[in-house]
Amino acid sequence: MIEYHPLKPFLPKNAKVLFLGSFPPPKKRWCMDFFYPNFINDHWRIEGQIWFDDKNHFIDLEHKCFKKDEIIAFLNEKGIAFFDTATAVNRLKDNASDAFLEIVEHTDIRALLAKMPQCLAIATTGEKATLEVCTCFNAVTIPSPNNHIDLGDNVTLYRLPSSSRAYPLAFDKKVEAYRRMFEAVVGC
């Protein structure tokens, strides 16, 4: 059964970096209607630690959810965009694993970038998303985690470690990898 992307691209006009994942987890795992909605995913904790020196900055601990309105205001201010590399998938198992996602419709990444003339970087947090971006730009090399490559057109691809807790890297190491990218692209 084909599953279509439930969110619209989040593309601030001043965006300097575009985060591209593969596809959202099943809706039953969401705690908000926005990107990285799974409460046990550390993406918003990583950003809270980098920008506010507080991994719980974007967390409503009482309700075990993220503070969506604060996140959106922050992203608009900093120029950080989000979407995914697939607009439709077949989910082969009822989980969020890229290994069980079959892409049916690919995102037009170049069209997204055309809407953000200041965008200098794409950040991917998984192998599937990285491969999709590399294919779109006919990249000769695929960056390993914590590395980056020039895609041409003044755009750099940063392959960051996954913010999933299943990814075997300490939280502090993930924070440092994301911080290096933000320092290079957005300035933090």
Residue type (1 letter), 177: A
pLDDT value at 188 more than 80: no
Q: How long a stretch of residues is the chain? A: 188
Write down the pLDDT at residue 16. Answer: 97
Residue type (1 letter), 69: D
Looking at residues 146-152, what average pLDDT do you find?
92
Looking at residues 98-113, what average pLDDT do you find?
90
DSSP-assigned beta bridge partners for residue 107 = none
Write down the pLDDT at residue 95. Answer: 66
Write down the pLDDT at residue 8. Answer: 97
Burial class (CB in 10 A: 0-12, 13-18, 19+), 121: buried
Report residue 101's pLDDT band, with 50, 70 and 90 as the boundaries. confident
**Fold type of domain 2-185:** Uracil-DNA Glycosylase, subunit E (3.40.470)
Burial class (CB in 10 A: 0-12, 13-18, 19+), 40: exposed
